Structures are given as structure tokens and as C-alpha cells.
Structure 1
Amino acid sequence: MKLSTYTKLTLLVFTILFAGCKQKKDTTTLKLAHGLDPSHPVHKAMVYMAEELEKESGGKMNIEIYPSGQLGGEQQCVELLQIGSLAITKVSAAVLESFTPNYQVLGLPYVFRSREHHFNVMDGPIGEEFLNSTEQFNIKGLCFYDAGFRSFYSVNKPINNQEDLKGLKIRVQKSITAMNMVKAMGGSPTPISWGELYTALQSGVVDGAENNPPSLHTSRHYEVCKYYTLNEHTCVPDVIIISTVVWNKLSEQEQKWLKAAAEKSVSKERELWRQAEEHALEIVKDAGMEIIIPDKEPFMKMVEPVYEAYKCQPEIYDLIQRIRNTK
């Protein structure tokens, strides 16, 4: 494993001060770090997980949380986790594509028909397969958190149907899957960094973008964009991951306590996320943004070729079919 310069420079400090797992008398302390603000629903769910772990273990285990990038960004946290200097962090499932190709399936458009379908897949045997699929890289998934559905928003032209996407320059993440999706719908995918997007929308470099309601709100893109079309094309979850270096040092009972606390936090996070979405939609609507509820079926038909392209990869194609066949 190749470490970044940042990690090499700070590894000694973290090893001395922030060991991923440490035991003091009868207490095991796990270090959890992430880049989100304490007001974020995911952070609040992590706090709940820490509280539940303390209850489950009768005070024999606890989690120390370092939010807001205190111990580094997402990449640095993953690297520190892999070597055991950090116990737990949060990543988007898209980040794990670089470790196992199967994770790219979770970013395919309309692979999830609804939020209920998404939860049924992630809470079932397919979700468990994903969580265990990165252990050879010292990464083990504990649970999935809801990160909402992504939808299109635009500056001047409303997107009432898939036809309205034709010719529009839509900002996407630097992802082949995302680019292929927008192309299949007739749009022109334009990769731009998140930090530059506000200016790109304002100056006309792109005509629109796509994301979930809380991100639209916190980014203040609603100040520039007039329309938000809730076509809900993708639903890429977040993953709470733990270092296998740390996990394997825990006793079987400690592992059970931690897994139970993580699973309990899933329901809490989903409720917190629902509340955040409702609040975000209220804010952008009050600010004058028009909320459009389109017929999703035409959008779904447009992206079928994206699935067919995976027929040459039997393992991934079979996974797609298993997910789509889940009730």
C-alpha cells in the first residue's frame, strides 16, 4: 500500500497520540474521525452509535469522535485506518470502487427503485457481501448510512422530462458511471470539482448539476439555480468502515457489541437524514426555487443501455440483476 506524503508526515504523531484502538484498564477506546460538520446527520448518528456502544458494553467500550477533518481528509482517514492508526471512518460507497469493482453497481442510475428497495438491499445479504468485500485491504464495513437520492437542478431551463436534458451541460463527479448516465439521458456531462461548482453555475460554464437536497442547501447552489427536478436517479450510500487491524484485536464479544451499536445507529441516521431532506427542501423552496416532480419511467428507460454495457462482466451483471430482483 502506497501512503500519501500527508500520511507519512503525520503517521508518527498519530501512532503516538491517536492509536486506532487502545485499552485502559477494563475499557477499550476506538478512534473515529471524519470530515463532516457536527451538525450533519451522519455525525449525529455516529454520536448515537457511540452512546449505544457504551450502553451495549456496560461502559467497557467507547468511541472518541473527531469531526470536521481534525485528523485529515477522507483519503487520509482511509489510509490511517488501513494501517490501524485510526479505527473507524465514514466514506461514500463510491470511494470503495477503487478497492472492489462491485461497489460501482451502487452508483448506477435507477438500480434502486425506491428508498424502501434501497434499504431492503443494503440491510440484506447483498449488503453484507459488500461490507465484507474489502477485508483484504484492511477495510471492513460495519453498516450503511442513507445519503439520499441525487436529482438534477438547473439554472435557467426547467427539466420536466428527459427531453429537457438534451444539450444541457450538467456537472458530474469524476466518475465514468455518472458521465455515462448523463450521456444516456441526452445531456453533456461536465466534470468539475465541488468547490468550483457555485462559480461554474453562476458564470454559465455548466447549465446544472445533480445532488441530494441537503447538499443543494448547504452548498447554496439554490441561490443560482431556479429549478430542482426530483427524478432521483442515484442513491449512493455512505459506509461506516473499521480497520481490520483494529477489528481483529477486539474480542468476539466486543465485535458483537460494536456491530449491534452500528446497526442501531442505522435507523437513527435514516430518520435524521429524512428530517435534513425535508428541512433542505423547505429552505430552497422558500428561497424561490421551483420543485418539479417528474415521471421517472422515461428517465429509467433512457439509462437501460448503461446496464447492458455490463453484460461482458458477468459477475457485476449478475449482481445488478440480483439487486433489481430484490423486493
Structure 2
Amino acid sequence: MKSHGKPGAIVTLRRGKLTRRQSLIGLGGAAVSLFAPSYLKAAPITVRLGDVTPTDNPEYAAHVFFAKRIGDETKGQYEVKIFPNSVLGGHTQMNEQVRNGTLELAKSGQGFPATYDKALGIFSLPYLYATRGKLFAALDGKLGEGYRKAAAPYGFVTLGFYDSGIRNVYNTRGSFKTPAEFAALKLKIRVQPDKIMVATFNLLGAQSTPIEFAEVYNALQQGVVDAAENSVPYFISMKHIEAAKYFTKTQHLFGVDPLFASAKWFNAQPENVQKIFYDVARETVEYERKIWLEAENKDYARAASAGTLINEADVSAFQQKVKPIWAQYKGDLGGLYDIVESTQ
């Protein structure tokens, strides 16, 4: 990065006596030359990263890791500033800012990009993979690459995919084990604004209600919805634990949160800087997946000790019940659906 400072004068001794004023000017110039690198260095380029995540969530810790590594690798030329807790808006607003180039980076919820292209709803297919290991292998391979290509025309550079856990259902009315018991509760359940998520819970007998993530707590408290679905770290960190007493391990979705960069901003950066962002994002994803799993295991114990009634669902029964969703949305998901099938 070029410094905007003007180089100091070089003092050259010549024959003849220098006046006192000339001597002082010469010494001053020498001082500027000696210390220019420290106090004439250009200010770092600020890169903003927006998220809905609170600061006690593992994804926020991953953002902090990402910011530090970017600073290290660019030798302070780029400074990532994190904006958590929806201070820049919800996922919908931040994704639009990224597309327009008014926000450099944002972590999106998995269902929100589907508003641009139906294929980007691929992560909302219920029971996408049998294990986390298979999911991560696909994300780090063909599925991840396919998603990047599908998102690119909409102004998104996909730097990586955070693990946001195995998603389950929690509600204010009662426990359930089977799909029939779930339907009998007649729940209004908050979902992301994604057609597949909406269709999945409608098929199960609930009333799907799309609401921005930051509004879910109040919606649960005020009875606008009776239920929501998410992983246990979000259940705790977003304080939904205070409103919903019943937590059932339906394990219906893997949480996959893409980390987006604005194509308008990213493509204007030097190639070596682009590579640094890709490399650091890959490091960050590895780190995030590790700390997420640790937090998830601890948070089940925390939820139970706080009085949450946690029970196991008949997962195979739920999986069988929502199986028609795959066939229903196969056409919308196109090539990404084919990749999922081939990587099972």
C-alpha cells in the first residue's frame, strides 16, 4: 500500500558553513526521514462484517478470529470491524447491502439467499445428509463450489460456510415425539423466509410464519408464534430459552450459514488481498466448526440445568413424513440438487 507521506529531506554536507537556520532545517528533515514509516503510514482500510449473532455465540468468536487473521496477514493494511446483534439490520437488509456494495461482508442465514434464486435454498432440504462429516465434505467440495457459482450472479462472493448446528424445534405448548403429536399441538412456528422451510413445517401440520431473526424473542413472548426452530447455542444466546420451555430434538436441518463478501467491493481489491481473504476464511471455517461443536455439547447441559424440558423425537418418523419435500423442490434446486444426490 502506498504511503501518503512525503519523504524527508536528505542532509548533504557541503563545503562552507551552514547557517543555524539551515542546520535546524536539515536536522528536522533527517528526523522526518527516520520516523516517517511510523507516523506517516496510511490508515488501514476498514472492512465491515455484519451479523445478527450476539457476542456470546460461537459464530461471533469466529468473526473475531477472522478479523485478527486478516489484520495479521495484511500487516494491518485491512481492519475488519464486526457489527453483531443486527445493528446493521436483519439478514435480508444486510444481504441487500452486500449486493449493492454498501457493506463489505455479512454472514447470512441459510434460507435467506433463496429469495434471489430458488437453488440457493438447497441447505433447507430436511435431513440433507446423514452426518456432519458428510455435510462438511460436500461443503468443502462439489456442493460448496456449486453454491458459489449459483450465488455469484447476485453480487455475492461466498468465502465459506459456517456450521450453525443441528436445528431442532422448541415451543411454548408441550413436548412431542411423533409427527402426529407435533401436528396435534397446532403450532405457529417461526421459520426463515424460504419456501422449502415453509412447506416442510406446513406439511408437518404447523403454521409456518416467516419472521426476521431479531424479532423471534418478542414474537415468542407475545404469542405471535408458539414455536421456533434452531440449534441449541442460538436457543440460549438469543434468550429464546426464557420464552420456550419445551425443546425437542427433531434434528430436521443442518445449520449452514454462508459468509458473503460484496462482489463489487471484493473484485476491486488486489488479487493478493483476495487470496488472503479466501485463505483466512478457510482457516476460520475450520476453527468455527470446532468451537461450535464444543459449545453445542455444553449448551444442552446448560439448557437442561435451566429447566428446559429436552426430549428426543422419533427422527426416522419425521424424516419419512417430510420425504415428499425433496421431490417437490427438486426442479427448483437444479444442479445443486444433483450434487447433493451424488454426494450422499
Report the TM-score when normalising by structure 2: 0.77
Given candidates 118, 122, 127, the residue that maps to 1:105 is 122
Q: Deviations over 1:104-140 (max 9, x none)?
A: 1211111222222221221112112212322222221
Name whichever of 278-287 and 243-252 sits farther off: 278-287
RMSD, matched Cα: 2.8
| 2:322 maps to 1:293 | no
Identity percentage of aligned residues = 27
SS of the residue aligned with 2:260? strand
Q: Provide the secondary structure at the position in 2 that maps to 1:237.
A: strand
1:44/1:163 CA distance change after superposition, 3 Å = same
Structure 1 stretches of 5 or more lacking a match? Answer: 1-23
Partner in structure 1 of residue 190 of structure 2: 172
Contact 1:172 1:179 in 2 (8 A): no
* Cross-structure match for 1:65: 82
In the TM superposition, what is the alpha-carbon distance from 1:320 to its structure 2 partner?
A: 2.4
Partner of 1:41: 58
Give the distance between the partners of 2:197 and 2:225, measured in 1 at CA. 15
**Hey, which bits of structure 1, 4+ residues long, moved more than 6 A?**
202-205
Deviation, structure 1 residue 156: 4.2
1:267 paired with 2:283, answer: no
CA distance in 2 between counterparts of 1:256 and 1:222 reads 40
1:150 to 167, 187, 190: 167
- 1:234 is matched with 253
- The yes-or-no answer on 1:188 pairing with 2:200 is no
The residue that corresponds to 1:31 in the other structure is: 48
Task: Show CA shifts across 1:158-199 (max 9, x none).
Answer: 2122232132223132443223212333x2224164566557
Shift of 1:64: 2.8
C-alpha displacement of 1:233? 0.2
Q: 1:250 to 1:318 in 2, by over 3 A?
A: closer
Rg larger in 1 or in 2?
A: 2
- CA-CA distance at 1:308 after TM superposition: 1.5
User: What amino acid is the match of 1:277?
Assistant: E
Report the 3-state secondary structure (helix = DSSP H, G, I; strand = E; otherwise coil) of the residue aligned with 2:111.
helix
Conserved? CA contact 2:57–2:237, under 8 Å: no
What secondary structure does 1:92 align onto? coil
1:49 maps to amino acid:
F
Distance 1:191 1:80, change over 3 A: closer
Separation in 2, partners of 1:305, 1:152: 20
Which residue of the partner structure matches residue 9 of structure 2?
none
How big is the shift at 1:262? 0.7
Structure 2 residue 168 is the aligned partner of structure 1 residue 133: no
Task: Pick from 297, 301, 315 the counterpart of residue 278 of structure 1.
Answer: 297
Could you say which residue in structure 1 is the equivalent of 2:262?
243
8 A Cα contact 1:169 1:208, kept in partner: no
C-alpha deviation, 1:44, in angstroms: 1.5
Q: How many residues align?
A: 301
**CA–CA separation in structure 2 for the residues paired with 1:195 and 1:301:** 32
Structure 1 position 146, deviation (Å): 1.0
Q: Which residue of 1 aligns with 2:230?
A: 211
Pick which of 286-295 and 221-230 moved more. 221-230
Deviation at 1:143, TM superposition (A): 0.6
Decide whether aligned partners of structure 1 residues 39 and 207 sit closer, same or farther in structure 2, where only a CA change above 3 A counts: closer
Letter in 2 for 1:278: N
Distance 2:89 2:240 in 1: 26
Mapped to 1, the partners of 2:295 and 2:239 lie a distance apart of 15
2:309 partner letter: E
Counterparts of 2:86 and 2:238 in 1: how far apart (Å)? 18
Query: Is the aligned partner of 1:320 residue 2:337?
Result: yes
1:265 CA drift (Å): 0.4
Per the alignment, do residues 79 and 221 of structure 1 end up closer, same or farther by CA in structure 2, a change over 3 Å counting?
closer
| Separation in structure 2 between the aligned mates of residue 280 and residue 252 of structure 1, nearest angstrom | 41
Structure 2 CA distance for aligned equivalents of residues 133 and 318 of structure 1? 9
Tell me if structure 2 keeps the 8 A contact 1:111–1:320.
no
From 314, 318, 327, the counterpart of 1:308 = 327
TM-score (norm 1): 0.81
> Of the candidates 276, 295, 299, which is equivalent to residue 257 of structure 1?
276
SS in 1 for 2:153: helix
Query: Which piece of structure 1 moves more, 38-47 or 200-209?
Result: 200-209
1:45 offset after TM fit, Å?
0.7
Deviates more, 1:126-135 or 1:63-72: 63-72
